[in-house]
A and B are shown apart, each in its own frame.
Chain A
Amino acid sequence: MATAIEFNNVSKQYRLGLVSTKTLSHDIHRWWTINIRGKEDPYLKIGSENDRATKADSEYVWALKNIDFKVEQGDVVGIIGRNGAGKSTLLKLLSKVTGPTTGTIRAKGRIGSLLEVGTGFHPEMTGRENIFLNGAILGMTKAEISRKLDEIVDFSGCERYIDTPVKRYSSGMTVRLGFAVAAFLEPEILVVDEVLAVGDAEFQKKAIGKMQNVSQGEGRTVLFVSHNMASIRQLCKNGILLKNGTVEKMGDVQDVVDYYLSSMQTVSDFNREGNGAVRITDFRIRNTSIALGEDLNIEIDIEALQNVEKVDISFDIKDESEKQVAHVASNDDDYQISHMNPGEKKTIHCVIKNVNLAPGGYTSSIWIGTHYIEYDMVLNCIRFSVVQSGDFIKRVTPYDRFSKVVLQSKWE
């Protein structure tokens, strides 16, 4: 198949900090070096790798560094990675919103980009007027929009308000109208950034369905950025994992997503709750994939920042649809840490015995606290899967998706 998009050694540099007098002096230095002395840009050499967590040693940072890949025509590619990995920068370069610092991007066909829904909506204009304006901004001609107007209005479900100024719309309606316009774009290459994460559940379902039609039906090339692994798995064939501005892994979407989920297990990547009297500093699980009925081994490092009298630990295990299936607590086993001084560190080892959850993927939060105080909670950080193997049970019939646990039985 033909190549539709080609990134050739593309890098993008950003300057950290504020634009100030220093900017002017750098500009003068840069201008002097390039134009008068005829040398290369002095600031291109010194950029540092884009890792948010570490303190920058240079004022310049590479948001993307030496990106090299090709996308086949008709392919649907999911781009994943942590916040700040460079996903949006990559889409911005492809959408021509900003230019690369070095390297070349080549593409075949009209590129339609959807980095935001409802770009350029004017609150004082009616829904209908905004459909035309937004459509034209996205690259449609007036004739094209007129032809699709009825479909767009119908898809948005805003027919009743179509001649009302958009400022009177609820935020949900604005988003629906914005997405509806974008959904009827017909470019050869479609670039989509996280826009499906809006609206209510019903509309999201509709939006994903529409995306699926767009990408599968007409041989269109789609680049899709999302943090929602379920929709990435559902929509995409291939995946690209970005890490600190470089391509960490690319290939079949299932592999890339699995790799991403298992590789990003450090505490700072997850949402936290709690007062911080004791912090969870790290956690490890011995095996991210266990056979049915096997034990799950988890180790947690904690550090006290204040004097605490008592620390309990627990896990909330949830299945793939985010429904809680189990709660495991340290006091189930009469285990308790009785006292910790500030600065004191402890490592706790927990074995969850004979996990008989139905085969599938699970996540768990780690919680530490007491009856009435929450010290720290790292949300959905542990990921593991249970696979049907081993001799816990001889099962012939596959489990349906509603089964939550596997029960052993004796028959006579």
Chain B
Amino acid sequence: MPEVPAILRRGLPWLLLALAAAAPAALSGYDLNLLARFMAMAILALGLVLVWGHGGILSLGQGVFFGLGGYAIAMHMKLADLPAGEMPDFMVWSGREALPLWWAPFGSATFAIAAAILVPTLVAALFAWAVFHRRVGGTYFALITQALALAFATLIISQQDATGGFNGLTDFYSILGFGLASPRTGVGLYWLTLAILCAAFVGLRWLTASRFGMLLRAARDGENRVRFLGYSPVPFKVVAFAIGALLAGIAGALFTLHAGVVSPALIGVVPSIEMVIWVAVGGRYSLAGAIVGALAVNLARDAVSSAFPELWLYCMGALFILVVTLMPNGLAGLLKGRAA
């Protein structure tokens, strides 16, 4: 592979950014919406680079944090469109008498946005701390996160009258007074997603280059060695995991805005592990790779599953097997010999 010329290497990100910013002018409303969804997923993928690539922590439950962010915003939108004192439609159909107490604060947009960001972060921090401070990690942690994804999705499905059950929450009309049906709102949300994606990219670049990133990688490669240098690896791993969840929560909120639905089918065991393949394809150590991987896998998924729905699971299975065995550093690893 020949060395990429410096001018191209430096210029390419800006060119791509300019293209992405101009996309609303070139794409149809449908395609723009699709791209915006995938970009939201790319935000989650960036978080996984920190958690999995740099931290060596495999999370098979990232959908939980995605879902927490998504449901927070969805609950707000369900309430915001209602006349005061009424309940969302599905609650009425389920025969509920009154709005559940924990729904009430989501009437406030500020509360809902804060919850979409903070709830996943805090849940993740507490969960990770409870496991890591007892020095349980690696495969055990991955298995426990998968159990978390299963328990979370099952819980949502079973509480039909309060969560919308299997169908999830859908039929939203507006956010902060902007009608979701309007193309201008779509474009605005697209730019918002792009801006957050860029901010997450720049922020994580800084973080992974900082001493924090250095210690996180050090703890990944030799947890005990780091302890014997006088550091506790626990806070580094917990903070990295919480940042991953924060980005997943934001991604979930944005995705819900674009897709107009959030449901257990998007956040359970299978979708959660699918999120890992985005990053595996792009390259687990590469932030740019994660964005490319998230976009590419989701595009492929969209194309394959609309034509041959049964085929996609074979594709994904094969993708897992082949990427992990043959190109553990993903697309980014093909570009350079080794990424760190």
**Binding between chains A and B:** no
